[in-house]
Amino acid sequence: MNEEIAGLRLVRLRGPDGRIAVGVLDGDEVGVLEAEDMVATLQAGELPEPTERIALLDPELCTPADPWSLLAPVVAPETWAAGVTYERSREARVHESQAADVYDLVYGAERPELFLKDAAGRRTVGPGDPIAARADASWTVPEPELAVVLGDHQSPLAVTIGNDVSSRDIEGANPLYLPQAKIYAGACALGPALLVPLDWGVPFDIGLRILGAAGELVFEGRTSTAGMRRSIDELIEFLCRDNPVPPGTVLLTGTGIVPPDGVTLTGGQTVEIKISGIGTLLNPVAVPTTAVDRQEETLHA
């Protein structure tokens, strides 16, 4: 396992006066910058000097000391996702689907599966905020993924952790139900930090744990982006074909971890996703109405 991948780590914070600021992680501290726009800050090429430094209570979760709070690292104008990019994902889709040959064809095809997951962050939550299962779904799972943030000229700018929460029973009933299986309140989480890797060619180790209401282990799995059939550059190239993708767009690159049939997300559980070099994204699982209410509060904040 690659415990650490070298690079610059940044977070978005909300200060005691309500202002939003970009922070640079440095050991057990965060250097707060006089900057609010994460994408513009990275694209500027040179970071300003921090105006102050605050303590990190947990460098892995990127939890700042009070009265600061951690936000999603970017509010993406669009969030896209790629499917069936790992052999394990192909196997799971074939197993669950009544049109199994569709996923075999996609896995081996030149053109990848790409779909819009969210826009303007309306269905996306940050670290510590609740994700949810659809009220009309009976089988919902987290999908831990490396997420790429695109900059100007549709180039990769940074990476973060993404959770492409999915209703497997809905998608399995018919591939045309994919939007309903993938797009709803609390169906995506991003965080806790952005990483600008020094070497984009180094594979990322990904770990997933689902914990029960009492903290017991429900499921645990591991994978690596070394197992991806398609490269990040290939996925970006297909995404941007004849498609005006704005800077700050996030692309989820697919999952190589799929829990078994008997595991489904329910209220009170916690999903923990760790990616080497980035940190750990932790989200409780809420009932759907709670997720919708939380999303409304976020939109009107």
- Tell me the average pLDDT of the chain: 90
For 94, the 3-state DSSP assignment is: helix
Torsion of the alpha carbons at 18, 24, 28 and 32, rounded to the nearest 10: -40
Mean pLDDT in residue range 34-47: 93
Q: Which residues of 108-134 are buried (b: 16+ CB within 10 A; e: fewer)?
A: eeeebbbeebbeebebbbbbbbbbbbb
40 in a structural domain:
no
What's 152's DSSP letter?
Answer: G
Residue with tokens 């965060």: 30
37 in a structural domain:
no
Task: Please give the pLDDT value at position 109.
Answer: 84
pLDDT tens, position by position, 256-269: 998 999 999 999 99
Instruction: Tell me phi and psi for residue 165, to 5 degrees.
Output: -60, 130
Task: Please give the pLDDT value at position 301.
Answer: 47
The more confidently predicted of residues 145 and 5 is 145
32 in a structural domain:
no
Percentage of residues of the chain with pLDDT beyond 90: 80
Residue 187 burial (CB count, 10 A): 24
Pairing of strands 279-286, 166-167: unpaired
Task: Please give the pLDDT value at position 295.
Answer: 55
State yes or no: pLDDT of 286 exceeds 60.
yes
Mean pLDDT in residue range 108-123: 93
State yes or no: pLDDT of 291 exceeds 90.
no
Q: Which domain holds residue 152?
A: 78-299
Task: Please give the pLDDT value at position 98.
Answer: 55
Q: Tell me the Ramachandran region of residue 8: left when phi exceeds 0, alpha when psi lies from -120 to 50, beta otherwise.
A: beta
pLDDT tens, position by position, 207-242: 999 999 999 999 999 999 999 999 999 999 999 999
259 in a structural domain:
yes
Q: Which of 9, 181, 10, 194 is nearest to 81 (CA)?
A: 181
Task: Please give the pLDDT value at position 1.
Answer: 44
Model's pTM, two decimal places?
A: 0.91
Task: Please give the pLDDT value at position 31.
Answer: 97
Task: Give how many domains the chain has, as a whole number.
Answer: 1
Lowest mean pLDDT among 3-7, 18-22, 227-231: 3-7
45 in a structural domain:
no
| Contact partners, residue 211, CB within 8 Å, separation at least 6 | 217, 218, 269, 270, 271, 272
Task: Please give the pLDDT value at position 259.
Answer: 92
173 in a structural domain:
yes
Residue 36 burial (CB count, 10 A): 12
119 in a structural domain:
yes
Mean pLDDT in residue range 99-120: 82
Rounded Cα distance, 127 and 132, in Å: 14
Residue 110 Cα distances to 19, 49, 70, 104, 117, angstroms: 45, 45, 39, 12, 22
Q: Where are the alpha helices (DSSP H) in the chain?
A: 38-43, 87-96, 100-108, 168-173, 178-182, 232-239, 288-299
161 in a structural domain:
yes
Task: Please give the pLDDT value at position 96.
Answer: 58
Lowest mean pLDDT among 7-16, 169-178, 285-294: 285-294
Instruction: Tell me the CATH number at 233.
Output: 3.90.850.10
